[in-house]
């Protein structure tokens, strides 16, 4: 059987704590090349990932795949904006063409025909080689194929979806659909967002880092994986790891690469992300060790038998499985109800410069619970960093003038980030008014932030760093509050 190829996930390079310099990214790319990895996956919503890849001319050495936001940015799916956003991605990547151009997630509020027409126009212009889908249901893949054939549009030939030893629901319906239409499967999250490397008891009592349940991304992971059957399966996973002396991450990577339903014959691939050079070397070494023994594979089947009833489909659809009637049958209802909750709580959100980390976490939790489903998904993607700079870049990334406006914001004396609508439908007058209001209402934040930092100058470095971190988190929440007050269309 032909081996399954590897693709490096470029989302992590937007995090400067992982790859602080362009030189550190370039070092990672050299390691990838030495190990035969020839493709990098990124997306428009992955913050500065595209820009940083462009700055080191990655497209001259690697095939680059990127994604249109799709359902992660519902306002961005008109035919005109599809072209504008794709050209923006190409500009950041400093290339004329990408290898695969995906729709990152389905937009169930928007006419599929117009979205696909925009994609086909890009294909005819030579902007990408292959068309891909991500996070679409099997029935939606069938509909995309039907429309493309009827209209004579470019057909999808690649699909990117969630797949790991504890997330195998795609095997039942989605994978057969892809095989029928000769669509290759690219598996993301082979270690289940890190779940397969965790200790069940720690997750029961909470978690930290990306798995902090009070954080936005941690909230998503806990919703997807912190369930009774999933935790029971994780305990068995830990037992298998110890019994056979194989690290848990390696166990997960090798299973997906060699013992799963993936096959190189269908040009399936695995997308893996790493946050450090050390982790990159460890992961590549794990893949190089080959298939797991049949005894190990049989025990992993037992893990799946335990978790199957609770297993998530993917990161996009998983958050809506608790309310399928609302979201899938009448998505506008979900948006309307949560929008009303946001409006009712707007005063608390926009005046939220809070003095402690605990209160900030409480605010994030409240904000998350009251967000429109589409915006919740967007906020939970890797594209949103805790850095204020990254939040600003994210907000302006979805409209034609976003790049220029971002540069103007960074060049100003204050970050006018507050109530920036990422919908291109906003008029210039409205945007100008929003920016002015933002400057006025964030002025007190700037003053208090400066005062806090100045007051700390006689303290040690650790104290100053803590104040800086808390200040950034506070301003981030203030900005997020303004973002979600922006006008929103259910059209």
pLDDT at 418 over 60: no
Tell me if the pTM is above 0.95: no
pLDDT at 441: 58
For residues 73 and 85, give the distance between their C-alpha atoms in angstroms, rounded to a whole number. Answer: 11
Whether 422 is catalytic: no
pLDDT tier, 108 (very low <50, low <70, confident <90, very high otherwise): confident
Q: What is the mean pLDDT of the chain?
A: 75
Active-site annotation holder among 46, 136, 159, 327: 46
Q: pLDDT digits over 436-474, tens only? A: 666 665 665 566 555 555 555 555 455 545 545 555 544
pLDDT at 383: 33
Helix (H, G, I), strand (E, B) or coil at 458: coil
Three-class secondary structure assignment of 1-37? CCCCEEEEEHHHHHCCCCCCCHHHHHHHHHHHHHCCC
pLDDT at 374: 45
Pairing of strands 156-162, 128-134: parallel
For residues 331 and 103, give the distance between their C-alpha atoms in angstroms, rounded to a whole number. Answer: 19
pLDDT at 482: 43
Token couple for 2: 């032909």
**What are the chain's domains?**
5-310 (3.20.20.100), 330-483 (no CATH)
pLDDT at 386 over 50: no
Of 421 and 445, more confident: 445
For residues 224 and 317, give the distance between their C-alpha atoms in angstroms, rounded to a whole number. Answer: 10
Token couple for 463: 């104290």
For residues 137 and 174, give the distance between their C-alpha atoms in angstroms, rounded to a whole number. Answer: 7
Spell out the alpha helix ranges (H) of 138-215. 138-151, 174-180, 200-205
Helix (H, G, I), strand (E, B) or coil at 483: helix
> In sequence order, which residues have a C-beta less than 8 Å from that of residue 16 and are 6 or more positions away?
387
For residues 363 and 103, give the distance between their C-alpha atoms in angstroms, rounded to a whole number. Answer: 32
pLDDT at 416: 37
Q: pLDDT digits over 5-25, tens only? A: 999 999 889 877 789 999 999
Phi and psi angles of residue 95, each rounded to the nearest 5 degrees, phi first? -145, 160
Q: What share of the chain is helix, strand, coil (3-state, %, to 5)?
A: 60, 10, 30
| Average pLDDT value for residue range 56-64 | 98
Give strand pairing partners of 6.
270
pLDDT at 122: 98
DSSP structure string for 351-388: T---SSHHHHHHHHHHHHHTS-HHHHHHHHSTT--SSH
pLDDT at 297: 97
Token couple for 80: 């005109």
| Average pLDDT value for residue range 362-379 | 48
**What are the E-state strand segments in 192-336?**
269-272
pLDDT at 74 over 50: yes
pLDDT at 240: 98
Q: pLDDT digits over 305-344, tens only? A: 999 998 988 878 875 543 333 233 333 333 344 334 433 4
């Amino acid at each position: 059987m032909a081996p399954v190829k590897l693709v490096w996930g470029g989302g992590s390079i937007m995090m400067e704590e992982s790859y602080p310099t362009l030189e550190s990214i370039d070092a990672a790319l050299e390691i990838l090349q030495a190990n035969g990895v020839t493709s990098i996956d990124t997306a428009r919503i992955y913050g500065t990932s595209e820009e940083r890849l462009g700055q080191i001319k990655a497209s001259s050495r690697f095939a680059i795949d990127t994604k249109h936001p799709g359902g992660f940015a519902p306002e961005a799916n008109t035919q005109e904006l599809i072209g504008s956003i794709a050209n923006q991605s190409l500009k950041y990547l400093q290339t004329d063409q990408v290898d695969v151009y995906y729709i990152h997630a389905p937009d169930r509020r928007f006419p599929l025909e117009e979205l696909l027409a925009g994609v086909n126009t890009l294909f005819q212009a030579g902007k990408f080689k292959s068309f891909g889908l991500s996070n679409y249901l099997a029935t939606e893949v069938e509909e995309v194929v039907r429309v493309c054939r009827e209209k004579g549009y470019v057909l999808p030939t690649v699909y990117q979806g969630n797949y790991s030893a504890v997330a195998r629901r795609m095997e039942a319906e989605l994978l057969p659909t892809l095989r029928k239409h000769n669509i290759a499967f690219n598996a993301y999250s082979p270690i289940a967002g890190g779940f397969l490397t965790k200790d069940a008891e720690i997750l029961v009592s909470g978690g930290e880092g990306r798995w902090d349940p009070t954080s936005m991304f941690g909230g998503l992971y806990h919703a997807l994986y912190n369930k009774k059957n999933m935790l029971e399966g994780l305990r068995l996973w830990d037992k298998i790891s110890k019994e056979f002396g194989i690290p848990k991450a390696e166990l997960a990577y090798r299973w997906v690469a060699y013992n799963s339903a993936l096959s190189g014959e269908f040009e399936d691939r695995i997308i893996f992300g790493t946050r450090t050079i050390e982790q990159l070397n460890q992961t590549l070494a794990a893949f190089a060790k080959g298939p797991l023994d049949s005894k190990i594979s049989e025990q992993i089947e037992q893990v799946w038998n335990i978790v199957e009833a609770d297993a998530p489909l993917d990161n996009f659809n998983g958050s809506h499985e608790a309310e399928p009637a609302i979201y899938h049958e009448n998505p506008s209802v979900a948006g309307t109800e949560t929008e009303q909750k946001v409006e009712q709580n707007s005063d608390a959100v926009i005046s939220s410069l809070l003095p402690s980390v605990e209160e900030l976490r409480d605010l994030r939790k409240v904000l998350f619970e009251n967000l429109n489903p589409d915006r919740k998904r967007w906020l939970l993607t890797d594209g949103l960093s805790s850095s204020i700079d990254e939040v600003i870049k994210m907000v302006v990334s979805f409209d034609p003038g976003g790049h220029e406006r971002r540069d103007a914001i960074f060049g100003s004396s204050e970050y006018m980030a507050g109530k920036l609508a990422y919908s291109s439908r906003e008029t210039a007058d409205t945007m100008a008014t929003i920016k002015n209001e933002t400057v006025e209402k964030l002025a007190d934040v700037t003053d208090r932030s400066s005062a806090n930092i100045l007051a700390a100058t006689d303290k040690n470095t650790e104290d100053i760093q803590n104040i800086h971190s808390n200040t950034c988190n506070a301003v981030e929440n203030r900005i997020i509050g303004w973002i979600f007050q922006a006008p929103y269309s259910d059209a």
